[in-house]
Structure formats: C-alpha cells, structure tokens
C-alpha cells in the first residue's frame, strides 16, 4: 500500500481548530549519529540516547498524559536522520509498545539521500501497527532542490520505493532549516507543491544552538521576509495560522529523562533551557501561565496576537532570547487574522470524531492512496490554489 497521494491535505491544513480534542505532540531526541551536513542544522549528533531507566520513565510519562484523556497525536523520533543514525534499532524496542498503544502519527526525519531503506521498511512491517500513520520529514538543501535534477529525482525514487513497499499510510513534507539562503521561498515552495504535492516546513533548528543571540538574529531575518508577504499567500502556512500549535495542543520535547515545553516559531523549537523545563505534567499550566506576568508592561501585553503567542509559548521564548519586543512575524499574523483557516475548513469534516476513533484509524477516511481518484486530488489542489 502506498504513500498518501493527498499530501497537501495533510501538510497544508492545521488540525488544531478542526480536531475537537486535547492533544500533545512529543519530540523525542533519542537518536545518535548522522553523516549528513544539512545547511542550517544545529542538531547535536551525539549524546542524545537515553538509558534503560530513562526510557521506562519516559514511557510512564506518556502513559500518564494519555490517562488524562489527552490524545498522543504525534511522536517525532529524532533529532538526527533516522536512516543514518547509529542507534535506531537499539532505541526503538524501548518505544514500540508505547507507540502501538497510542497509534500516533509517527514522524521521522531524513535526507533520503543515500541510506538504505530496506531494513527500516522491514522493521516497520514487523513492529508498528497499521493504524499508526507514518510521517517523513525530508530535510533538503534548497539550492540542490532548485538546481540539481539528480537530487530531486533521487528523492522521487526513494518515495516511490516507500510507496511500493510500506503498508502503512505515509505522509511526507519537506523540511528547510531556517537560515538566510538569499532565496525566493515562494518559488521554492511552489516547486514542492508542483512536483511533490506537499509543502515545505520551515524548521528553527537554530534554537538548538543554545546561543540566544544567534537564534534571535536568524528569526528576525526570517520575519522580515514573512512580514512583507501578501495577505493569503500560500507560503503563509502554519506560522500565520494563529491557532496552530496552541489552544488545545501542547508540544513537549524530551531528551535523556528531561522534558521541556516547546515554543512554536514557524515550527516546534527545541530549547534545553530551564525557562521551558517541566518536571511533571501539572507544571505545564504553571509555566504557561507565567507568561501573563512576563508580558506585563511590554508590547505583548496589549498585542492582538497575545493569545496565540501565549499558547505557543512565544513570551517564554522572547524572554529566553533576552528582549522585551516582538519576536514574531506579527504584521503577517495580523494581516491573516481572518483567513488563516479557509483551507482547513474546506478540507475537513470531523463528524463522529472521538479520541478512541482516532486511535482506531479514524483519519484514514481522509486519506487517498489511489492515484486514480483524480477528481478528489484536483479538488484538494483547487482549494490550495484558490
């Protein structure tokens, strides 16, 4: 069974507003080793793996969240390229039962450049139930993506192999580490839509640098680009959807027995700083609420986007970065205040949704794995393009 054909459906729209449930996404830093050098990458290649007790505690932590009626919506296995990781097959046995219990979207990051897919495909078949949807984030070099036919053709070949050999539903997006590439991102994004029917997620990998001034400068520069985009531009993806990664949705980062809240700036960030640290689930509320005090007397206090930034932990991020001014693409967010969800509203119909149904493959009804259903694919594309 094949790769999902209507990637745009999954990649473009946010589930936050249309999925009536409290949910968490877990970003698990557990993999060591990566042989690639993607531009803009600040991932630590070593020192990520947990020991046996840390894995046991992590699983308990996740089960505790689920016992509160909260959906384990997505688990990202990272931070390195899973195909070239040195410990993938040692780590995953600690997590497999937990994954099968919750059947989340199970996400992996890879370049798809030259690593063997066969062992992973075999492992997936033997280890992960079919209600678990697989997501592949393909980290790209944007210059090669735009200019090298072989680079793009290789990705297509790998995706075809996955489509032919993986039984699970598979969705994919491209990942571009945020950096000043001097490129027109609209052109790049349009290429991803046209050639692959998917989007590009902009990843703030720089947050892993542990150097706030570098993170701030990188984000400021990217905001300059975003703030002058036209209203309703299709590249205005999840950042300017002020509901995404907020309200009913919390993202947690894990590494070596530690948990942190993840701020959301263009995508989930990983920052191993005490300002985001939680010891137990209840801490989420206290740490999140501390932003009300932090915002007082600053631009954020009376900002129309405060509720969005509060939910996305952006006030915490602002303080971590050491400034009291706006750090978000505020102009663009305000410009798109009322049209942020039009695609989502058209694409989704969540009638009879329950967390239990979600675990049992509810979302499969939205998934097209048949190339011949051109009418539905065209409907989805027309929503994107109009």
239 binds ligand SF4 (CB under 6 A): no
Instruction: Name which of 79 and 263 has its Cβ closer to ligand SF4.
Output: 263
331 binds ligand SF4 (CB under 6 A): no
115 binds ligand SF4 (CB under 6 A): no
43 binds ligand SF4 (CB under 6 A): no
Map tokens 């499969």 to a residue.
364
CB of residue 286 vs ligand SF4: minimum separation in angstroms? 20
Map tokens 């959807």 to a residue.
241
CB of residue 207 vs ligand SF4: minimum separation in angstroms? 15
CB of residue 282 vs ligand SF4: minimum separation in angstroms? 25
Report the residue from 12, 305, 368, 380 that binds ligand SF4 according to the rule CB under 6 A: 305
Q: How far apart are CA 307 and CA 301, in angstroms?
A: 10
Residues between 352 and 381 with contacts to ligand SF4, criterion CB under 6 A:
none
CB of residue 223 vs ligand SF4: minimum separation in angstroms? 10
For residue 15, the 8-state DSSP code is S
CB of residue 158 vs ligand SF4: minimum separation in angstroms? 39
Listing DSSP states for 130-196 in one string gives TTSEEEEEEE--HHHHHH-HHHHHHHHHHHHHHHHH--S-EEEEEEEE-------HHHHHHHHHHHH
What mask, x for binding ligand SF4 by CB under 6 A, covers residues 306 to 325? x--x----x---x-------
303 binds ligand SF4 (CB under 6 A): yes
241, 341 in Cβ contact below 8 A? yes
341, 243 in Cβ contact below 8 A? yes
Q: How far is CA 380 from CA 78, 200, 345, 362, 373, in A?
A: 30, 17, 12, 19, 11
The interface region with ligand SF4, picked from 45-53, 57-65, 205-213, 297-305 by CB under 6 A, is 297-305
299 binds ligand SF4 (CB under 6 A): yes
The interface region with ligand SF4, picked from 223-231, 274-282, 299-307, 374-382 by CB under 6 A, is 299-307
Instruction: Name which of 43 and 300 has its Cβ closer to ligand SF4.
Output: 300
Burial class (CB in 10 A: 0-12, 13-18, 19+), 20: exposed
CB of residue 201 vs ligand SF4: minimum separation in angstroms? 20
19 binds ligand SF4 (CB under 6 A): no
Instruction: Name which of 95 and 315 has its Cβ closer to ligand SF4.
Output: 315
Q: How far is CA 130 from CA 26, 77, 99, 108, 289, in A?
A: 20, 18, 11, 16, 38
- Residue 217 neighbours by CB distance under 10 Å: 14
327 binds ligand SF4 (CB under 6 A): yes
106, 99 in Cβ contact below 8 A? yes
73, 24 in Cβ contact below 8 A? yes
Map tokens 């984030």 to a residue.
137
Report the residue from 269, 300, 343, 383 that binds ligand SF4 according to the rule CB under 6 A: 300
CB of residue 318 vs ligand SF4: minimum separation in angstroms? 6
3 binds ligand SF4 (CB under 6 A): no
Size of the site for ligand SF4 (CB under 6 A): 12
Q: Which residues bind ligand SF4 (CB under 6 A)?
A: 299-300, 303, 305-306, 309, 314, 318, 326-328, 330
């Amino acid at each position: 069974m094949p790769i999902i054909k209507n990637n745009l459906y999954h990649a473009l729209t946010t589930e936050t507003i249309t999925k009536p449930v409290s949910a968490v996404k877990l970003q698990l830093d557990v993999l060591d080793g990566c042989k690639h050098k993607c531009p803009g990458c600040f991932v630590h290649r070593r020192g990520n793996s947990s020991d046996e007790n840390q894995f046991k505690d992590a699983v308990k932590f996740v089960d505790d969240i689920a016992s509160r009626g909260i959906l384990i919506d997505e688990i990202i296995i990272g931070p390195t390229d899973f195909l070239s990781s040195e410990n993938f097959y040692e780590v995953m046995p600690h997590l497999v039962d937990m994954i099968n219990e919750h059947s989340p979207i199970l996400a992996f990051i890879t370049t798809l450049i030259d690593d063997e897919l066969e062992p992973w495909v075999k492992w997936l078949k033997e280890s992960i139930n079919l209600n678990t949807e697989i997501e592949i984030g393909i980290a790209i070099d944007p210059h090669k993506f735009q200019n090298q036919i072989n680079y793009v053709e290789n990705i297509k070949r790998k995706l075809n192999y996955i489509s032919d050999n993986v039984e699970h539903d598979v969705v994919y997006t491209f990942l571009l580490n945020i950096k000043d590439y001097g490129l027109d991102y609209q052109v790049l994004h349009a290429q991803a839509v046209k050639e692959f029917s998917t989007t590009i997620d902009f990843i703030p990998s720089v947050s892993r640098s542990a150097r706030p001034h570098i993170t701030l400068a990188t984000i400021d520069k990217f905001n300059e680009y975003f703030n002058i985009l036209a209203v309703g531009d299709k590249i205005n993806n999840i950042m300017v959807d002020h509901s995404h990664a907020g309200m009913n949705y919390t993202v947690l980062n894990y590494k070596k027995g530690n948990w942190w809240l993840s701020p959301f700036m263009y995508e989930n960030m990983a920052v191993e700083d005490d300002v985001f640290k939680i010891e137990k689930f209840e801490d989420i509320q206290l740490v999140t609420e501390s932003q009300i005090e932090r915002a007082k007397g600053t631009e954020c206090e009376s900002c129309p986007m405060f509720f969005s930034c509060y939910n996305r932990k952006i006030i915490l991020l602002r303080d971590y970065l050491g400034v009291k001014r706006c750090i978000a693409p505020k102009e663009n967010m305000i410009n798109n205040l009322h049209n942020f969800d039009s695609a989502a509203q058209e694409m989704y119909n969540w009638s009879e949704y329950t967390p239990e149904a979600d675990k049992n493959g509810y979302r499969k009804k939205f998934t097209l794995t048949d190339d011949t259903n051109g009418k539905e694919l065209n409907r989805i594309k027309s929503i994107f393009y109009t």
